[in-house]
Structure 1
């Protein structure tokens, strides 16, 4: 819902979980009550009054996982409504038309036929919501990462990144940004899944749903570590060694990844490499795992 509202409003509004949940519940309940008052569906299938609210709930929660930056789009199942609503109207008409001729049923107690029929209808409606809403776990984790970064909870965002089974260029950009903002860029970045090269470090080719491009560019354009880590991501050690003395005159205070890169470069000059195995979160592992 956070991503849906942000993209639909072009970033002008934000989604508050508590307020949003209350408003959505109230609106859906009012819609259900209106159907109950004006349509007067018989009690034996009273659960049908929840069908339009269920469809509306599915609609607003069915954002596509591949939605493009700043381009709102819901799942391409809207055409199903063209089939479902006529069927719904026909069923309601049929039930109301033949209600006076329906057989008398036992409608007292917890084992009444009406209760079980309505529970079955509600079960189908809940299944409808679960099936047609966005249930992509990767998309939900990406949305959570973006929300945490937007709230400046960078460490928590990085914790979610570690749970991903795979990554993409946008998540890589956000991972690098969160690592930089939490002072983990030069010592812990390669412990997280990454794809791409230095091109994914800034929102020039990839874009976040929630984090404005201007914020990322403003906070990183003058960063020396961003430039140096870009060389490491490209495995361009010659450029890294060239610019390193401008920012770190003394090699004794080099961060972990810079020390490892310098060692790789020095050994390359001797036609040698560091002895494996390499720690999984080291630059050695990233550099030689091509």
Structure 2
């Protein structure tokens, strides 16, 4: 016979293991993956009156989820093989809680895939029906591991469900983390967020440009990051007000001016701003980079001498642009020579000639020269 003492001991072990795994998952998930998202939600919902503590928030939410599981255990009675299903309501709540996206007007909205969530709930009901109609065998002593592995499977499926419901978009989380570092003045850390990813959007690009400018690295490392928006990526869209913290005030103070509501062309704004007495040196570098991003080398060489002495102390991308400009013009307005950079440009051009297919040429050159202005000039398409 299946001894009651053995069954109780097995039940306690399964309960402890499942509880420990869920607690560990919740703590890591909330503290490591979703802390910035929850901080943004609390900031918006409280209209900036309260601050989210990642540590305490993680502990409190996890405790409440465990409490919910305990309440559910008093309602349902599952066989040992289905013990992990007690955590289904907690996993649904956890997924919904982290599916929020900020909206304008200090609001947030759930972005969960409701069709997928409905499917998961239907499958849960189906599995529950099976569990209630096919209880554990009462005869014969079963190995505890036979109960454990199936509960591990149920937990894994529920953790996958949480991930599928929640807002786990990489670029969005890059934005949240970079924004937090910007507000804290940790520009070097902001630049490390998603640095190896080719995914970005206009807001994240603008944050990186701002961080580079404050680090005096704008002309040196701008093309270390993907630039899909041209000069429009230098500044955030004025219509985007979904930031947890208004870092844009610090940005426009850094530049010495803010564009009007009807002035949507960043290059034109920077041209007008650079003529004002309030314009900072950073604003002039922004303008130079705007010309580079617009691939307007003629305008770049016209403005460059007003901002910098044309010598080997120029930032790297400015020197790359000058060498390219001299290569493309028989009678350049500025003559600049740098044997090292000229050699690199020749290598870049010859390397690309090895590949006949345009896409392959672009991809291969990006692997070797993706952080140069030359790759951007020849291969980056405005529509990307």
SS at match of 2:196: coil
- Equivalent residue for 1:175, pick from 208, 214, 219: 208
| Counterpart contact for 2:79–2:131, Cα < 8 Å | no
What is aligned with 1:74? 110
| Counterpart contact for 1:203–1:216, Cα < 8 Å | no
Measured in 2, the distance between the counterparts of 1:266 and 1:71 equals 52
Measured in 2, the distance between the counterparts of 1:167 and 1:256 equals 23
Measured in 1, the distance between the counterparts of 2:126 and 2:323 equals 75
Residues 97-246 of structure 1: matches in 2 within 5 Å? 104=138, 110-111=144-145, 118-204=151-237, 207=240, 209-212=243-246, 213-221=248-256, 222=280, 223=282, 224-246=284-306
- Which digits, 9 at most, give the CA deviation of each residue in 1:12-64, with x for residues without a partner? 24443322211111110111222234x25255444333221111011112346
Measured in 1, the distance between the counterparts of 2:234 and 2:123 equals 51
Measured in 2, the distance between the counterparts of 1:280 and 1:119 equals 44
Measured in 2, the distance between the counterparts of 1:102 and 1:188 equals 63
- Is 1:281 the counterpart of 2:371 in the alignment? yes
- Equivalent residue for 2:89, pick from 35, 49, 52: 52
| Counterpart contact for 1:199–1:205, Cα < 8 Å | no
What is aligned with 2:310? 251
- 1:181: how far off? 1.9
Going from structure 1 to structure 2, the CA distance change for 1:167 and 1:87 (only over 3 Å counts) comes to closer
| Counterpart contact for 1:162–1:193, Cα < 8 Å | no
TM-score for both structures, normalised by structure 2: 0.59
SS at match of 1:276: helix
- 1:191: how far off? 2.5
| Counterpart contact for 2:43–2:244, Cα < 8 Å | no
Going from structure 1 to structure 2, the CA distance change for 1:181 and 1:116 (only over 3 Å counts) comes to same
Going from structure 1 to structure 2, the CA distance change for 1:126 and 1:259 (only over 3 Å counts) comes to closer
| Counterpart contact for 1:106–1:112, Cα < 8 Å | no
Measured in 1, the distance between the counterparts of 2:63 and 2:236 equals 39
Q: Which runs of 5+ in 2 are unaligned?
A: 1-33, 257-279, 336-341, 349-368
- 1:233: how far off? 1.9
| Counterpart contact for 2:234–2:290, Cα < 8 Å | yes
Going from structure 1 to structure 2, the CA distance change for 1:198 and 1:206 (only over 3 Å counts) comes to farther
CA RMSD of aligned residues (A): 3.9
Which 10-residue stretch deviates more, 273-282 or 170-179? 273-282
Measured in 1, the distance between the counterparts of 2:136 and 2:200 equals 57
Measured in 2, the distance between the counterparts of 1:152 and 1:105 equals 66
Measured in 1, the distance between the counterparts of 2:373 and 2:79 equals 67
| Counterpart contact for 2:68–2:90, Cα < 8 Å | yes
Measured in 2, the distance between the counterparts of 1:23 and 1:182 equals 38
SS at match of 1:251: coil
SS at match of 1:163: coil
Measured in 2, the distance between the counterparts of 1:123 and 1:254 equals 54
Equivalent pairs counted in the alignment come to 283
- Is 1:41 the counterpart of 2:77 in the alignment? yes
